[in-house]
Amino acid sequence: MAGVSDKARFYLERAAPELREFEEKGIFSKDEIRTLVTKRSDFEHLILSPGTKPSDFLSYVSWERSLDRLRAKRCRKLNLSRSSSSHASQARTFGIFERAVLKHPGCVPLWLAYLDFAAQAKATKRWRRIATRALRLHPTNAQLWTIAGRRAAQGGDMERARAHFLRGCRFCTGDAALWVEYARCEMEWLAKVEAKKAGKGVRKGVNALEAIKATEAVQEGDIIRFDEEDEESGDEGELMLPDPDAQGQGTKKKPDVFDEETTRKMEQSPALSGAIPMAIFDIARKQPFFGPAAAEQFFDVFAGFSNLSSQERIVQHVLAAMEELFPNHPCTCSCQIRQPLIGVSIVTAAFPKALRESLARLKVALEGTTDRKALARKTVVWVDAILATEGLDEAIKTVLEHTKRSLESPS
């Protein structure tokens, strides 16, 4: 244990300047400093001892972050705007996470917590390096690929987001989660493009090309590159070619690369009419995981984007495939029943008519499904969701409550 004590003392001594600052500025009293040193010493001995668990590191991080929140609160109370302890606390937490993933590289929750902390700290370049290391160690983890793809998409780089999702789909062929999230990401991109074309965020009536550009403002710090050899190296001293499109003083503005004909073709592109989400679904049909439940997940994702002009076409594409492959399965019947309600607001006059059609389909489906009880359970779920809506019409409420009782009663 001598080795453990020496290592623990080494890490504790690195925090000595911060502790002196606490005492000099009156952030913590001497007794409080003595208590937190004892607590930190216990954590250091715990994580340095043989047989340490990932939860020990997470507990240490949680304690450090709670201590930092208390420090920040007292600094505000004392009007201490400048304090080096805030940076020291963040650096120490990063150090604990780094030691944790080196000790337990196979623990995915540790990597996820590490990524979450880096994102909260807005350390974009560090986040990219952490994500790259995590994906290299866990290429078959769908959650890590989803986080990487979604972060790139939120940063406006759909090309990089698609690259992450496509690379992840090559590895994750045993679960539908990543494929469904990829389809969701593409649907969100389509919704953003249509919102921009409608004038939300840019001038009204912009063409498709300008709308796409408006949704894809790339943040370079979030790009994950798997072919980097030296991830820590910077760009200082590196020669770079000048931008040929840059507008210098006294230069004439160059003509746009995309002319009117190209813009017209972009507006008619299949990608803007839902071709990519449907292609994801079609390729997913050939994967080992595909079945009625996976198809229903795709249906649920597509049904949630009622503001898309191409939604009806995409939903019908999925439903047609389900009717062909699993004609009387409860998942297929449930999707058929809910189809008339897609895109119809509960508080509009069109809802009673759509509900009437759904209930008529429910009656037919209960007679022909292969599992009546499973279909009844699925139906009760969305019926409860409608009943929970505030301001629901009393007549509709009465009908749905009667339907729910009939489904829950033993047949």
Q: What is the pLDDT of residues 372-401, one digit of tens each?
A: 999 999 999 999 999 998 888 899 999 999
pLDDT above 70: residue 240: no
Average pLDDT over residues 64-70: 92
**Where do we find the tokens 């001497």?**
30
**Residue 285 class from Cβ within 10 Å (0-12 exposed, 13-18 middle, 19+ buried)?**
middle
pLDDT category at 102 given cuts 50, 70, 90 is very high
The per-residue pLDDT for range 322-341, each reduced to its tens digit, is: 999 999 999 999 999 999 99
Q: Which two tokens stand for residue 260?
A: 């009117």
Unique residue bearing structure tokens 């972060």: 151
Flag the least confident range among 86-90, 122-126, 167-171: 86-90
Residue partners of 356: CB distance under 8 A and separation at least 6: none
pLDDT at 82: 65
pLDDT reported for residue 216: 54
What are the CA-CA distances from residue 338 to residues 79, 315, 331, 353, 391 (Å)?
A: 58, 11, 11, 13, 21
* 78 has pLDDT over 80: yes
Range list of H helices, 78-141: 85-103, 108-120, 124-137
CB atoms near residue 338 (< 10 Å): 22
Give DSSP secondary structure letters for 284-295.
HTTSTT-SHHHH
pLDDT at 198: 72
Contact, 328 vs 214, CB < 8 A?
A: no
Q: Please give the backbone phi and psi of residue 117, each rounded to the nearest 5 degrees, phi first.
A: -65, -40
Checking if the pLDDT of 258 tops 50, the result is: no
- The pLDDT assigned to 239 comes to 36
> What's the pLDDT at 227?
55
pLDDT of the residue at 197: 76
What mean pLDDT value characterizes the chain? 84
Over range 255-283, report the average pLDDT.
70
**Distance from C-alpha of 40 to C-alpha of 42, rounded to nearest angstrom:** 5
| pLDDT of amino acid 307 | 84
Identify the band that residue 255 occupies on the pLDDT scale cut at 50, 70 and 90: very low
Cβ distance 186 to 153 under 8 Å?
no
Rounded to whole angstroms, the Cα distance separating 189 from 200 reads 14
pLDDT number for residue 365: 93
Q: What would the mean pLDDT of 181-209 be, rounded to a whole number?
A: 75
Burial annotation 226-259 (CB, 10 A radius, 16+ → b, else e):
eeeeeeeeeeeeeeeeeeeeeeeeeeeeeeeeee
